[in-house]
Amino acid sequence: MFKTNYIYTMKILHILNGDSTLQGFEQTGLEGDILVWREVLSEGPLEENISSGSFWKNREKWICNTFNEKQDGYQENVIDQLDKLSEPYDEINLWFEFDLHCQVNLLGVMNLLKQKTDLSMPVIYLICPASFPDKEDFRGMGELNGDELTWLYDNIRLRLSEIDFIIAAEVWKIYAVQNAGKLKNYLTKTSFWGSLHLLKQALEAQLTRLLINENGLNYIEQKLLDIYNYGITTKPGIYQRFWETEKIFGMSDLEVGIYLQRLKEKGLINL
C-alpha cells in the first residue's frame, strides 16, 4: 500500500478598499491573494442588482465620463478583478474603513459576494477600524504600515454572519434608490447593526447629502461654498479645509471635485 502525504493549504482572499492600503498590506506577510476594490459606489448611478451586466455597464460609463478614465482601464482595474470572487476561497477578509466611501463599497462587496458566492463555503471576516492606537486623527488604513495592519488583523477582525449579509442587503436596497425619506425612516427604526458597527454613522452622513437646504444645496455643497466664501479659493486649500472636519465622507480630490463642479455650474464659485 502506498501512502500519500498531502497537506491542504487554505485558499485565502484579501479584498482591499483601494490602492492606498496595498503598499502597507504587502509588508504584512499575510498569506493569500489580493483583490483591490477600485470602485467609488458612494457616487454615481446604482441599482439593486449589483451582479447584473447593466449595473457594471452604467458604472463604467459614469466613471469614464466623470474621471476621464478609459474603458480598457476600467475593465482591467475593476471588472477583471471581480473574477476572483468566483474562485473557491476558504477564507475572505474584507479590509474596509469607517467612512461613507468605504462603507458603501463594503455594502457593494457583501452583496456581490452574496449573489456570486456560496456563503456556506468561505469564512468571511471584516477588518474595519474607526481608530488606531496613538493616531489622534486616524483617516484610514492607507496611512498604516505592515506591522500596524497586522495588529488590526490580529485584534479587531470579526467573522461576518448570515445576519450581517441580510443587513447589508437591506441597506444596499435602500441606499441604491437615493431617497432621503426612506433612508431616514430606516435609520430611525433600526437599532441592531450586527457586525457592521460603523454603518449607521456613514448612513447618517449620506442622509445629509440627500437633504437639500433653502439654497438648493446639500450638506457637502454648502460646506464647500462656505469654505470658498471664507476666502479659500484654490482647490488644494478647499480640499484641505474640507478634510479637517468632514473625514466621515472619505472623499478623494476627484470626488470633492464633483461637488465643486456643481457649484461652478450654478455660478456660485469661480475656480
What's the CA gap between 180 and 200, in Å, rounded?
14
Residues 16 and 108 in one domain: yes
Residues 50 and 172 in one domain: yes
Residue 247 within any structural domain of the chain: yes
User: What are the residues facing 159 on neighbouring strands?
Assistant: 125
DSSP secondary structure string, 133-185? TTBTT---GGG--HHHHHHHHHHT-EE--HHHHHHHHHHHHHHHHT-HHHHHH
What's the CA gap between 265 and 230, in Å, rounded?
20
Exposure b/e, 31-57, CB count within 10 A at least 16 = b: eeebbbbbbbbbbbebeeebeeeebbe
205-253 residue pLDDT tens: 999 999 999 999 999 999 999 999 999 999 999 999 999 999 999 999 9
Residue 63 within any structural domain of the chain: yes
Q: Residue 116: which pLDDT band, with cuts at 50, 70 and 90?
A: confident
What's the CA gap between 3 and 7, in Å, rounded?
13
What is the pairing mode between strands 91-95 and 12-17? parallel
pLDDT of residue 119: 61
Residue 101 has pLDDT above 60, yes or no: yes
pLDDT of residue 137: 87
pLDDT of residue 121: 75
Q: Residue 120: which pLDDT band, with cuts at 50, 70 and 90?
A: low
For 235, the enclosing helix (H) or strand (E) is helix 235-245
Residues 165 and 46 in one domain: yes
Residue 192 within any structural domain of the chain: no
Q: CATH no. for residue 37?
A: 3.40.50
Per the structure, how many domains does the chain have? 2
Residues 37 and 107 in one domain: yes
Residue 166 within any structural domain of the chain: yes
pLDDT of residue 9: 80
Residues 141 and 231 in one domain: no
Beta strands in the chain (DSSP E): 12-17, 33-37, 91-95, 123-127, 158-159
Percentage of the chain beyond pLDDT 70 is 96
Q: Residue 117: which pLDDT band, with cuts at 50, 70 and 90?
A: low
Residues 230 and 128 in one domain: no
The residue segments making up the domain with residue 52 are 12-178
Cell 490602492 belongs to 19
Percentage of the chain beyond pLDDT 90 is 88
65-78 residue pLDDT tens: 999 989 999 999 99
Residue 45 within any structural domain of the chain: yes
